[in-house]
A and B are shown apart, each in its own frame.
Chain A
Amino acid sequence: MTETSLSAAHREAQARATRTRYGLLAPALIIILAISILPLGITVVYSFLEPGTYGGVVWNFSTDAYVQFLFERDIFDDTLTFDPAYLSIFMRSIGLAFGAMIGTLILGFPTAYFIATKPRNQRNFWLFLITLPFWTNLLIRTYAMLLIIRDEGFVNISLMKLRLIDSPISILYTDTAVFIGLIYSYLPFMVLPLYASLEKLDFRLVEAGYDLYASRWKVLRHVIAPLAKPGIIAGCILVFIPGLGAYITPELLGGGKSLMIGNMIAIQFGSSRNWPFGSAAALILMMLVIIVLLIYAASAGRGRRTHG
């Protein structure tokens, strides 16, 4: 076969592979680009428009949505005064998500460690126990939590029957309730990546640690934790990000009192009818998430370099 006809065959094969590849990729990419990514572009545009009286937008350029985030505009003389109301919702959301992250880490690490040190044939069962609630509806799980922590809920009634308390402890519709709800919702997200990295851990290293007269705490701190670091970071990300954008948990457990960003955004598209402000808030939330992901990517990249 001549050089040219063979390279033609190569080109033909390559062209066929390319056609097949993009043909196969097209449906998934088109659906997601059209229904998930294009709308983000629209959100960016909306955030620079004026709100319509009955929802929607009026096509006038305006940066009010972003100004409103930090300032209150006086209705009469248009002066701006600093208003921390929305900022405080953001700060509270970050605080709650961060708290939930720490909480799930404190609870999830021992759990993941416990499963990882189980005999191999039992691990899948334990893992299954952890993941099963994760596949049941988040709304229903939150509702179940609500049933438990209400004033007249399971926990209070049980405690009162046991005469441990005289009157119910009121935590529903407080930050505490949201905090508990977030931990309950996202605990599996923490356990799974932790388990994945602990399972690979060579426990002979732990024994070596003891051999060198390290205490249990020191072994945990200096041997196990550094080796489980990728899992810890991944777990923290997986809890923090959805925690930050949580909607159902604060909606049901926080009542109207303990709002988070998610609820605030939803309200702008509902009763408040301020789509541009809702869009702006959503974009700020997305930026926060992207920053967290970038930090994660950077740390993962650095990890790879030091190992490589």
Chain B
Amino acid sequence: MAEAIRKGPRARDLKAMPGFKTVAWLCIIALYLPLAVLVIFSFNDNRSVVRWTEFSFRWYEAALSNDGIRNATWVSVKIAFVATVVATAAATMAALATTRTASFRGQGLAYGIINQPLMIPEIVTAIATLSLFALIKTATGVTGIGYLMAAHTAFCIPFAFMPIRARLEDMTLVLEQAGADLYATPWQTFRHITLPLLMPGIVAGAMLAFVVSLDDVIITLMVAGPGETTLPIYILGAIRRGITPEINAVSTILVGVSVLLVVLLFFVQRRMEK
């Protein structure tokens, strides 16, 4: 009897594997430790990124008054904004086409094309895009930030596409049919039924696209012309010049923005599930 009782809790524990919990905790710690160190030493009142002296916003002040960083931030935001708007619009339309009309021949091909930027190593896309843009630049003489915006738009599309398509696939067609039944023309049905219901997916897609554009290094590095320095490219250059807490401060801000967006995204998706 006593043995049977003792067996109770152990029986539930059968799923647990020895050592797995330790490894899992180690992984979580290993994922966060470097970032934690980075963030902590961004508040260090000292040039050192290892020896803690005193808490201060010194490096944030330095970073925020640094023209290079301010310009790079502005360039990053401009590119991310344009890429997000265009990519989200294109992805929304494509998602409507693949979920709101009967399945068609070539659907697999369309998915393949839309997801292509995810399947090719980024460095390959980067040098290929560079080659194309170099050709266009020589042929037309046109330069500018538009090239970066175009490149970002292309690789943002699959990221925006994923949550929008997922949302549409979860939405039953019957609501749109109810709209049509109640005298809404196809456009009115889209405007009053489909679009409001799809909104959480579109917001999620746009946020993903924004984060992905904001974080891009390789394609930007290859395609960027002189003076078109985005924040990650600025950080990469600064790291190459030498490690300073100022880099920690800028990095912390960039990480903060990404984390904030992703946390928001998490809540948007939780609302979507309801």
Cα distance A278–B123 when bound, in Å? 10
A212 on the B face (CB < 8 A): no
Contact (Cβ within 8 A) A117 B15 = yes
Contact (Cβ within 8 A) A140 B254 = yes
B28 on the A face (CB < 8 A): yes
Contact (Cβ within 8 A) B27 A216 = no
- In the complex, what's the smallest C-beta–C-beta distance from A210 to chain B, in angstroms? 6
Instruction: Point out the residue from A31, A241, A242, A252 that lies within 8 Å of B153, measured CB to CB.
Output: A31
Digitize B1-22: 1 where CB-to-A-CB distance is under 8 Å, 0 elsewhere: 0000000000000111111110
Contact (Cβ within 8 A) B14 A245 = no
Stretch in contact with the other chain, from B62-70, B124-132, B175-183, B195-203: B124-132
B173 on the A face (CB < 8 A): no
Digitize A128-155: 1 where CB-to-B-CB distance is under 8 Å, 0 elsewhere: 1111110111111101111110001110
B172 on the A face (CB < 8 A): no
A21 on the B face (CB < 8 A): yes
B262 on the A face (CB < 8 A): yes
Digitize B212-250: 1 where CB-to-A-CB distance is under 8 Å, 0 elsewhere: 001101100110000000001001100100010001100
Contact (Cβ within 8 A) A269 B35 = no
Name the residue of chain A whose CB is nearest to the CB of B34: A144
Q: List 25 A-B contacts (CB under 8 A).
A: A20-B97, A28-B91, A32-B114, A37-B116, A40-B120, A114-B20, A129-B31, A132-B262, A135-B258, A135-B259, A136-B258, A137-B255, A143-B239, A143-B247, A147-B38, A147-B50, A184-B34, A206-B15, A207-B14, A216-B18, A242-B121, A266-B127, A282-B123, A289-B121, A293-B119
Cα distance A133–B126 when bound, in Å? 24
| B interface size (C-beta, 8 A) | 88
Instruction: Point out the residue from B93, B127, B211 that lies within 8 Å of A27, measured CB to CB.
Output: B93
Of listed B86, B138, B157, B211, residue having the most chain A CB within 10 A: B157
Contact (Cβ within 8 A) B24 A143 = no
- In the complex, what's the smallest C-beta–C-beta distance from B176 to chain A, in angstroms? 13
- In the complex, what's the smallest C-beta–C-beta distance from A223 to chain B, in angstroms? 12
Contact (Cβ within 8 A) B24 A36 = no
Instruction: Point out the residue from A21, A36, A157 that lies within 8 Å of B155, measured CB to CB.
Output: A36
Cβ < 8 Å to B, chain A residues 273-299: 275, 278-279, 282-283, 285-286, 289, 293
Cβ < 8 Å to B, chain A residues 33-47: 33, 35-40, 42-43, 46
Cβ < 8 Å to A, chain B residues 145-183: 150-151, 153-155, 157, 161
A-B CB contacts (within 8 Å), total count: 259
Instruction: Point out the residue from B50, B122, B157 that lies within 8 Å of A32, measured CB to CB.
Output: B157
Instruction: Point out the residue from A22, A40, A210, A279 that lies within 8 Å of B97, measured CB to CB.
Output: A22
Q: Which residues of B contact A247 (CB under 8 A)?
A: 122-123, 217-218
Q: Which residues of B contact A286 (CB under 8 A)?
A: 120-121, 124
A87 on the B face (CB < 8 A): no
Contact (Cβ within 8 A) B119 A29 = no
State whether A17 and B154 are in contact (beta carbons under 8 Å apart), knowing that A32-B116, A129-B28, A286-B120 are contacts in the complex. Answer: no
Digitize A99-129: 1 where CB-to-B-CB distance is under 8 Å, 0 elsewhere: 0000000011011011101000000000011
